[in-house]
Amino acid sequence: MSYFEELKVWQVAVDLAISVYEITGKEPFKKDFCLKEQMRKSSVSISSNISEGDQLDSDKSSIRHFRIAKGSSAELFTQSIIAFRIGYINENEYDYIKQKCQEILAMLTNLIKHRGNSRNHDED
């Protein structure tokens, strides 16, 4: 059994989610329930899908969840672009989210390649 807490990509994703909660807990996010909740949900989805995928018994199922995590990372990045352009986050916050999303996407791409090349590639 693999332990997702040891995966660097999971650790980075959890740290990012915590940062997103902190950033969206400030004004002007307090008044924009929709974007705040979208950013929080997508940030939590990244680490949640990584952990779920890591614990599944087949590489095919794991890869599916890692791909969902990639989608959530792209979703969060898009939402951060919107938040930046409308003045909800500053340039440093935007750059941090962008850099972490790119880092997570690269790590997930490598994890998917690794799992896809695994000798015990199971069929669901």
SS3 letters across 54-118:
HHCCCHHHHHHHHHHHHHHHHHHHHHHHHHHHCCCCCHHHHHHHHHHHHHHHHHHHHHHHHHHCC
Q: Give the CATH superfamily of 4-116.
A: 23S rRNA-intervening sequence (1.20.1440.60)
Domain map (residue ranges) of the chain: 4-116
Q: What is the pLDDT along the chain (124 residues), one digit of tens a residue?
A: 458 989 999 999 999 999 999 999 999 998 899 999 999 999 999 999 999 998 987 889 999 999 999 999 999 999 999 999 999 999 999 999 999 999 999 999 999 998 888 645 444 4
The reported pTM is 0.90
Burial class (CB in 10 A: 0-12, 13-18, 19+), 87: exposed
- 26 token code pair: 């400030």
